[in-house]
C-alpha cells in the first residue's frame, strides 16, 4: 500500500481487466462519465510518464498520421474491417497487394498504436477505430490533413521564424501555402485543385461526425421571428454553407415552416451542392461572395454562418460583417456557429482547431470577449451565446442590429 492510500496494484488490475472487455467504451452509458474517464485516463497516463518517455512520445508522434494514411491507401484497414474475424498477414497481403514482409511491419505498428488488435502470432483483427478509418469521409479527412495541414505544420517553425514570430492572423502566404509553395490564397488554391477541394469537404463532414448537432441542441423555432412568414420569406440563409449539411438539416427539421432556405457559397462549391438540392422543396443554392458584395437577400430571419470567421483576421471579418448587416432588418438575427474559447482551461480540441486554422488559412479561433468586441465594432449586439458542446467549445453566437 502506498502512503496516499491508493492501492496501485488493484487499480492496475482493474484497468487491465476493463481493457480486456470487448467494446469497453460502449458499456459506459452516461456520456458525461465516459468523457470524464477519457480525460482523466489521458491526464493520468501522461502524469505517470517520466519526462524521457514524454519526450519520446512527442518525438515519434510524426509517424501516426502518415502511417494511418498508408493503412487507408493500401486498403489494410478496409480489408480488416470487411469481416468480423481475424486475418493472417498472408491473407491480408493477397487482399491488398502489399508485400508480406512490409505488411507484417505495418501491422506490428498498427497494433502497438491501438489502431488494430493482435489476437495471436501473425493474426490481426479490426478495431472500432480501423472500422471508422475505412469510411470514405474519414479516409479523405486523413488524406486532407496529411496532404495539407501536415505540410503546413512541418513548415511551421521556419514560417514563424520568417515572420519574426509576429501574430500570424491574416498573414499570407500561410504556413501551408508557403510550403506548397503557392501564390494563391487557400480557397482559390482549392478551386484550382479539385482533388484538394474534395478532400477538404470530406474533412469538414468527418470532423462533425459524432459531435453534438446544433439542430438537436437548439430550438430555432423559439428564437425565430415567425410572425408574417410567407412562402417567399427567407427563413435561413446559410452563408458559406459548403456541403449544405446545415441547410439540409434545418430544412428537414423545420419542414412544416413555410419559407425558403438558401445556401450561398463560391461558384465551385455551389456547382457541387445544386444537384443535391434539386429534388427538395424550398431550398436553393446561389453563388455569393461575402467578402466583396452586400448581402443580396434582404430581411431573412436567420443569417447563419458556421466556421467562416475563424478563417479571417478582424479587419476582413469587419468587411464580411458589414456586407451581411446590409441585408439585415429588425426581424433578422445573425447566428455564428463557431468555437468560443474560454479564457481559462481551454480544451485540447479547441486549441488544436485554433492552430489548424492558423496553419492553413492564417485564421484564429476567438474567445467570447473577442466575439463581443468584433460584433459591437460593426454595430451588432450579442443577444446570447449558447454553448452547445463543451468538449469542442462549440457555441452559437446570436446577434442583431444594435
Ligand X SMILES: C[S@@+](CC[C@H](N)C(=O)[O-])C[C@H]1O[C@@H](n2cnc3c(N)ncnc32)[C@H](O)[C@@H]1O
Q: Which residues are catalytic?
A: 310
Residue 265 within binding range of ligand X, rule CB under 6 A: yes
Scan residues 199-228 and list those touching ligand X (CB under 6 A).
204
Scan residues 279-318 and list those touching ligand X (CB under 6 A).
288-291, 306-308
Q: Collapse the DSSP code of 60 into the 3-class scheme (helix H, G, I; strand E, B; otherwise coil) and give the result.
A: helix
Helix or strand (DSSP H, E) at 148: none
Residue 269 within binding range of ligand X, rule CB under 6 A: yes
Q: Rounded to the nearest 10 degrees, how much is the dihedral formed by the CA atoms of 53, 355, 36, 41? A: -10
Scan residues 77-106 and list those touching ligand X (CB under 6 A).
none
φ, ψ for residue 401, nearest 5 deg: -65, 140
Closer residue to ligand X (CB): 107 or 358: 358
Residue 366 within binding range of ligand X, rule CB under 6 A: no
Residue 393 within binding range of ligand X, rule CB under 6 A: no
Q: Which long-range contacts (CB under 8 A, 24 or more apart) does 61-65 make?
A: 63/109, 64/113, 65/142, 65/145, 65/146, 65/150
Task: Answer yes or no: are the C-beta atoms of 353 and 389 closer than 8 Å.
Answer: no
Determine how β-strand 123-125 pairs with β-strand 366-367. Answer: unpaired
Stretch that binds ligand X, among 115-123, 146-154, 261-269, 274-282 (CB under 6 A): 261-269
Contacting residues for 13 by C-beta, under 8 A, at least 6 apart: none
Q: Shortest approach of ligand X to residue 31 CB, angstroms?
A: 23
Size, binding site for ligand X by CB under 6 A: 17
Q: Give the residue nearest to ligand X (CB).
A: 242
Stretch that binds ligand X, among 57-65, 236-244, 250-258, 326-334 (CB under 6 A): 236-244
Residue 141 within binding range of ligand X, rule CB under 6 A: no
Scan residues 162-191 and list those touching ligand X (CB under 6 A).
187
Residue 248 within binding range of ligand X, rule CB under 6 A: no
Residue 155 within binding range of ligand X, rule CB under 6 A: no
Task: Answer yes or no: are the C-beta atoms of 378 and 321 closer than 8 Å.
Answer: yes
Complete DSSP assignment for 205-217: HHHHTTSPPHHHH
Q: Shortest approach of ligand X to residue 291 CB, angstroms?
A: 4
Q: Shortest approach of ligand X to residue 244 CB, angstroms?
A: 8
How far is 12 from 24, CA to CA, in rounded Å? 16
Q: Collapse the DSSP code of 67 into the 3-class scheme (helix H, G, I; strand E, B; otherwise coil) and give the result.
A: helix
How far is 203 from 353, CA to CA, in rounded Å? 13
Q: Shortest approach of ligand X to residue 138 CB, angstroms?
A: 16
Closer residue to ligand X (CB): 224 or 270: 270
Binding site for ligand X (CB under 6 A): 187, 204, 240-243, 245, 265-266, 269, 288-291, 306-308
Amino acid at each position: 500500500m502506498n502512503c496516499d492510500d491508493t492501492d496501485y496494484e488493484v487499480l492496475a488490475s482493474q484497468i487491465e481487466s476493463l481493457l480486456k472487455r470487448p467494446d469497453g467504451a460502449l458499456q459506459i452509458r452516461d456520456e458525461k462519465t465516459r468523457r470524464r474517464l477519457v480525460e482523466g485516463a489521458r491526464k493520468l497516463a501522461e502524469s505517470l510518464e517520466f519526462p524521457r518517455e514524454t519526450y519520446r512520445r512527442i518525438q515519434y508522434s510524426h509517424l501516426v498520421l502518415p502511417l494511418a494514411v498508408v493503412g487507408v491507401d493500401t486498403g489494410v484497414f478496409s480489408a480488416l474491417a470487411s469481416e468480423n474475424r481475424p486475418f493472417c498477414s498472408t491473407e491480408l497481403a493477397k487482399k491488398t497487394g502489399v508485400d508480406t514482409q512490409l505488411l507484417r511491419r505495418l501491422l506490428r505498428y498498427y497494433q502497438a498504436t491501438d489502431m488494430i488488435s493482435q489476437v495471436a502470432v501473425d493474426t490481426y483483427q479490426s478495431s472500432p477505430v480501423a472500422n471508422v478509418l475505412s469510411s470514405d469521409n474519414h479516409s479523405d479527412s486523413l488524406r486532407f490533413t496529411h496532404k495539407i495541414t501536415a505540410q503546413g505544420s512541418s513548415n511551421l517553425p521556419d514560417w514563424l521564424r520568417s515572420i519574426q514570430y509576429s501574430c500570424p492572423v491574416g498573414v499570407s502566404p500561410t504556413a501551408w501555402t508557403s510550403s506548397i509553395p503557392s501564390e494563391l490564397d487557400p480557397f482559390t488554391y482549392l478551386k484550382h485543385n479539385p482533388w484538394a477541394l474534395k478532400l477538404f469537404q470530406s474533412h469538414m463532414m468527418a470532423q462533425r461526425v459524432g459531435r453534438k448537432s446544433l439542430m438537436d441542441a437548439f430550438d430555432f423555432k423559439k428564437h425565430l421571428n415567425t410572425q408574417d412568414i410567407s412562402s417567399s420569406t427567407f427563413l435561413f440563409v446559410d452563408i458559406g454553407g459548403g456541403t449544405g449539411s446545415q441547410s439540409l438539416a434545418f430544412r428537414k427539421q423545420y419542414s412544416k415552416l413555410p419559407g425558403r432556405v438558401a445556401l450561398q457559397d463560391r461558384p465551385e462549391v455551389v456547382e457541387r451542392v445544386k444537384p443535391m438540392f434539386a429534388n427538395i422543396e424550398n431550398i436553393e443554392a446561389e453563388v455569393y461572395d461575402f467578402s466583396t458584395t452586400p448581402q443580396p437577400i434582404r430581411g431573412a430571419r436567420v443569417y447563419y454562418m458556421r466556421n467562416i470567421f475563424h478563417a479571417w483576421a478582424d479587419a476582413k471579418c469587419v468587411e464580411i460583417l458589414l456586407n451581411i448587416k446590409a441585408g439585415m432588418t429588425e426581424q433578422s438575427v445573425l447566428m455564428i456557429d463557431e468555437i468560443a474559447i474560454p479564457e481559462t482551461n481551454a480544451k485540447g480540441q479547441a486549441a488544436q482547431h485554433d492552430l489548424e486554422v492558423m496553419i492553413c488559412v492564417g485564421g484564429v479561433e476567438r474567445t467570447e470577449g473577442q466575439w463581443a468586441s468584433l460584433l459591437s465594432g460593426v454595430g451588432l449586439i450579442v443577444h446570447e451565446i449558447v454553448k452547445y458542446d463543451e468538449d469542442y467549445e462549440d457555441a452559437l453566437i446570436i446577434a442583431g442590429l444594435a
